A and B are shown apart, each in its own frame.
Chain A
């Protein structure tokens, strides 16, 4: 670099051409070397500063020094250089402002293989997630959502569901009772609901048929917490009552719901069972989702269905006419079905959880697996 304006001895046209070429070449080189705004300022000052800029020097060293006959020619050439230099200065600025040099970009490189700054999302609880999915399936079939209290009276949890006082079926419920209820009539005594079925009664008490509801919620049993038992779990209960609901409708509804939940290739199987509040009553099995109902997986008996090809999932039945008596429905005019399922059981199946306690410990290592 370091171009300096030469003093001219020869003012012939050829010598002038050569001097101008040399200057323009220097101008272009220096312009190309400018890579920052500071560079550019130096470049600008060097070429067009009023005091001692190269253009100013041309006046002194070339024009003033030119002998008379050459003055006109030199003047024209210096005048032509003026806008050219100014234009080069402007263009250089435009260039550095419009983009950055590849060298600068290279210096700004980051190691993109380092981990990003994550804002971790919280994870949905697998039981609530499963419950919401199930509610969604039944909402799409026209079911509304209803809730009821977790502390219930004997009337709603048992009597109105056709569990008479002293009935052996009460033994199957392992009920937790609220203390200090002895002075009350049996039906008013408080207990922790053992199923969400009381919500059926509360719903039918407050509305007339047609009824289509699902009742999700927490229920309690007198079972100490271990790998397969829990004193709390969640249920979803469903109820449909109308003028012409049949057992075939119950089967079709649950077959559809199981397919919606576990995939359309799932088959259902219904067999008789007993619940005081439904008749006929049924247990429902689905074809094993782990071995596709074959009973064998990877050449060994399927552990999930104990090689039977079937997994028991829920209980259901036609609403017992005695129940209608408690809610003032006419059992000769309406019919309906009810079904109930344990949400933990379904979540255990879906996610392969092997210990029910994990649902209730709040262990982040467990919960984060469902994020």
Chain B
């Protein structure tokens, strides 16, 4: 919205230059976004908050300036010639609840022509296109005082009457923008004896508009119910300067003065004769209840005492009247244009903004209460710092995915958006994986082929009809490319780049899960979301390079290489690895508390076992079978080297394992170590293993 500060001078003698005015209005809540032009052609681009329709015009801004500088505000007082005769136009308000007041005035014999230069140039300065003197008069009044009005070609109205009624189903109205609109019983219209001629408070009708042939004019200025106007404006997708103001609340008392002001402007530019008095039909009075203002409350909220003199001066300049009540209280009467003021706090805001927010002291409130973190803050921080230390970059992706992805990557019931941004973003994500794959692809497509990412966020699942949707916290991890990619080849023996592998990801998963206290933690290749009737879910992983982590019996993570078919479909041109951590499950477990354990005082003994196994024997089985021997002194049993190839034969592998035996009470004897080694070897043979020389 634009304001010409020069125009403001019609109403108030501004004591400051326009740059300063812009600044000071802004600090009083009448925000000037920018200033352009110079001298009398200076224009302010305004950003008036939605609660202040009264300031969306020159007179309203002038009123603010008058309060700001404590200067008188000149009234808008149209000078009209004496009228002749009596108008026989009748107004019939059938919806008094939605149209409490309707004012009209008749002019006969006016000439429609272009507006005089002073009117046209003012409108042009604020980006309004001059049309004709009669139409411009209504527009001028809108920008002068904020009151939307309308002018009809009286000869095109049938029956010389206007009826304010609900539209009937099947009725249509061609509005001023030339669009033929279907009306419904929810629409409030201004109609003549036969047909709707205007969409109340939104836009007038095309067929009764002013044309160059118009001679006789009916001016309308009404007050419309804000909610009704807003609904119609939305329903018809028609947001106009009029609807913008009516839906925020217009000035109930300005219908007569605005009618007369339009009449004055038309008569001045087009001549003609006023017929009869103003027709002012009040179907229902709109009274703004006075508000009790307690000066102690002003101080309680603002923290500083304002003088009674300042309070009364400010409120008076803004159009309020203040009558003394008991003790420190006053009864404040609200001006008809301030529909936003209903309560004491609304008055306090007026006082604060005109006092100047920056004049209030800066103080800090005392506080002795507790400071709480979110319940899982430590766990979040632990995982996040580990992920960063492991080299994963923190990422954030959009919360929406496509319906196809939701179905592909999850079995959960997804939530659709009613007004999605696009098909690709039409449902709330049920899995973090699709957006992680998108981010990996984004990097690969831009020549970054070594990528490590993680994202922490919620997935969303529909629940029963009445319950809130489930928001489940997840971490997704994405990795592709090489390990030690930047190491100079030949720099140190053994240090060289190699492709990121399943075991790199598993190691990272192990590192991330290790701090959580648990009795058991194992990894297997069961599909997490597998349901009896569907194998749809985790099949986006490579079936042979996928694992889930089960901590104390619940699945807390799943991870692996993305299935080559999925990778191809998403144009991922190298192997990518993804992990999903179910924080809602994982956070059922506390972080392990560190506890000191005495260091061993007796030496450990290591024994190596070299065995040949069939491929089907997983290390987990070997480990379980050795642990099952319950040798108290067995401190660890780990694989050291794996070998496959021609030497060991197809379907077999050779594995070197190391047992570490130690007692906290004594040095172990050779004979007992030999006995345990024998037991271990026997257990391994029990699994079909063959000891190698």
Contact = CB atoms under 8 A, between A and B. Distances in A.
Interface of A: 114-115, 117-125, 127-128, 139, 141-147, 149-151, 153, 166, 168-169, 171-172, 176-181, 190, 192, 210, 212, 218, 220, 222, 224-225, 231-232, 240, 242, 244-249, 251-253, 255-256, 269-274, 279-282, 318, 320-321, 335, 359-365, 367-368, 371
A252 B230 contact: no
A178 B364 contact: no
Contacts of A365: 446, 448
The 8 closest A-B pairs by CB, nearest first: A272-B29, A246-B303, A362-B439, A248-B303, A274-B49, A252-B362, A270-B357, A362-B395
Contacts of B29: 271-273
5 contacts: A122-B389, A150-B399, A166-B231, A247-B360, A248-B361
Contact of A145 (B227, B373, B471): B373
Interface string B451-487: 1111101101000000011010000000000001011
B393 A364 contact: yes
B391 interface: yes
B345 interface: yes
- Main DSSP-derived SS at the A contact region: mixed
A364 B443 contact: yes
B421 A320 contact: no
B300 A147 contact: no
A245 B363 CA distance: 10
A321 B49 contact: no
B275 interface: no
Interface in B478-501: 484, 486-488, 491-492, 495
Interface stretch (B38-46, B171-179, B198-206, B411-419): B411-419
Interface in B618-667: none
A282 B357 contact: yes
B361 A218 contact: no
A361 B458 CA distance: 17
A247 B394 contact: no
Contacts of B589: none
B593 to A, nearest CB: 23
Given A123-B394, A146-B374, A150-B458, A248 B442 contact: no
Nearest to B28: A272
A144 B370 CA distance: 8
B428 interface: yes
Nearest to A148: B471
Contact of A248 (B227, B360, B393): B360
B399 A178 contact: no
A364 B453 contact: yes
B444 to A, nearest CB: 10
* Chain B interface bracket (under 10, 10 to 19, 20 to 34, 35 or more): 35 or more
A224 to B, nearest CB: 6
A361 B248 contact: no
A124 B394 contact: yes
Given A122-B388, A280-B349, A149 B468 contact: yes
Contacts of B390: 122
B352 A280 contact: yes
A142 B371 contact: yes
Nearest to A365: B448
A222 B471 CA distance: 20
Given A122-B390, A247-B360, A282-B357, A363 B31 contact: no
Contacts of B486: 115, 118, 120
Given A177-B418, A248-B304, A253-B364, A280 B353 contact: yes
B343 interface: yes
Contact of B303 (A168, A218, A247, A361): A247
B460 A335 contact: no
B687 interface: no
Contact of A190 (B51, B301, B360, B469): B469
A210 B418 CA distance: 39
A370 B545 CA distance: 33
A143 B231 CA distance: 41
Given A114-B488, A145-B372, A122 B443 contact: no
A252 B460 contact: no
B392 interface: yes
A244 to B, nearest CB: 7
A143 B393 CA distance: 29
A174 B438 CA distance: 26
B212 interface: no
B8 interface: no
B417 A121 contact: no
B617 interface: no
Contacts of A168: 50, 230, 247-248
Contacts of B227: 166
Nearest to B302: A247
A145 B373 CA distance: 5
Contact of B353 (A146, A210, A272, A361): A272
A209 to B, nearest CB: 9
B683 to A, nearest CB: 38
B357 A125 contact: no
A181 B417 CA distance: 10
A125 to B, nearest CB: 4
Contact of A359 (B50, B369, B396, B399): B396
Q: Which of A143, A222, A252 gathers most chain B CB within 10 Å?
A: A252
B396 A128 contact: yes
Given A144-B372, A151-B469, A269-B358, A249 B446 contact: no
Contact of B391 (A114, A121, A143, A218): A121
B367 interface: yes
Given A166-B230, A177-B418, A252-B363, 7 more contacts: A121-B391, A125-B395, A128-B396, A153-B468, A181-B418, A246-B302, A282-B357
Contacts of B484: 117
Contacts of A245: 365
B524 interface: no
Contacts of B309: none
Given A150-B471, A166-B230, A279-B345, A274 B50 contact: yes
Interface in B370-400: 370-374, 377, 387-400
B356 to A, nearest CB: 9
Given A122-B393, A166-B231, A142 B369 contact: yes
Question: Which interface residue of A145, A172, A178, A256 has the most chain B CB atoms within 10 A?
Answer: A178
B358 A270 contact: yes
B52 interface: yes
Given A220-B399, A279-B349, A212 B392 contact: no
Interface string B277-306: 000000000000000000000001111100
A123 B443 CA distance: 16
Nearest to B350: A280
B353 A179 contact: no
A252 B364 contact: yes
B187 to A, nearest CB: 16
Contacts of A248: 302-304, 360-363
B391 A124 contact: no
A144 B373 contact: yes
B364 A249 contact: yes
B690 interface: no
B346 interface: yes
Contacts of B49: 273-274
B348 interface: yes
- Most-contacted residue by chain B among A142, A242, A365 (CB, 10 A): A142
Contacts of A361: 439, 442
